[in-house]
Chains A and B, each alone.
Chain A
């Protein structure tokens, strides 16, 4: 079945260093991929999502590239900020195949940025 794997449970960085959070997936179809961010005591909210035309989505300095050959959608940012400290979830949608709108979530990566 469909699945999402986030290999790092915890990533700790110093402010100013680059961020890369890994996400790989398995899907029967060609899915949409999402990154959600959840700050402390808040709800998850969408950070960015893949496009059907293969444009690279960007938001708040973060970007992700969908690589179908390697089934990956890694999240990147050139320079980490203290405010980036949060829990990040990668998720996929199977494009509603079979009528389901479910998202398959990875287990999340907690990013901690220190000064």
Chain B
């Protein structure tokens, strides 16, 4: 069974704080993604990666950095958190091979609150 895990599941920080969200996948997928989900906006892509050391800019990258350290691990960094970054964050993985071609598998999400 494909697996994507995220930590922490909930995080509260203050404005200006430093936050790192972690994602690990055991699917042996090349692609990993970070999304944010807000009511009225659906899923919005922040950053994605197609392998260790690679980073691609998504649709809403401002205020976010990301780093892909291994095939399994993808991190999202908020270095100066702002209340506008209060959201539900999902990580996902996918690949362009086999029966699950392009299908994205999502982690359980991290709820971030910036006070």
Contacts and interface: CB of A to CB of B under 8 A. Distances in A.
Grouping DSSP codes into helix (H, G, I), strand (E, B) and loop, the B interface class, with mixed when no group exceeds half, is: loop
Interface string A44-61: 111001000000000000
Interface string A80-107: 0000000001000101100111110111
A108 B90 CA distance: 16
3 closest A-B pairs (Cβ-Cβ)?
A93-B102, A43-B106, A107-B42
A44 B102 contact: no
A32 B43 contact: no
Contact of B107 (A43, A95, A96, A101): A43
A105 B103 contact: no
Q: Which of A42, A44, A99, A105 has the most chain B CB atoms closer than 10 A to its own CB? A: A44
Contacts of B106: 43-45
Contacts of A103: 94, 102, 104
A99 B14 CA distance: 38
Contacts, number: 47
A66 to B, nearest CB: 15
For chain A, give the interface size range.
20 to 34
B96 A101 contact: yes
A25 interface: no
Interface string B33-45: 1000000111101
B74 interface: no
Contacts of A42: 108
Interface string B80-105: 00000000001000111000011110
Nearest to A44: B106
B107 A89 contact: no
A8 to B, nearest CB: 13
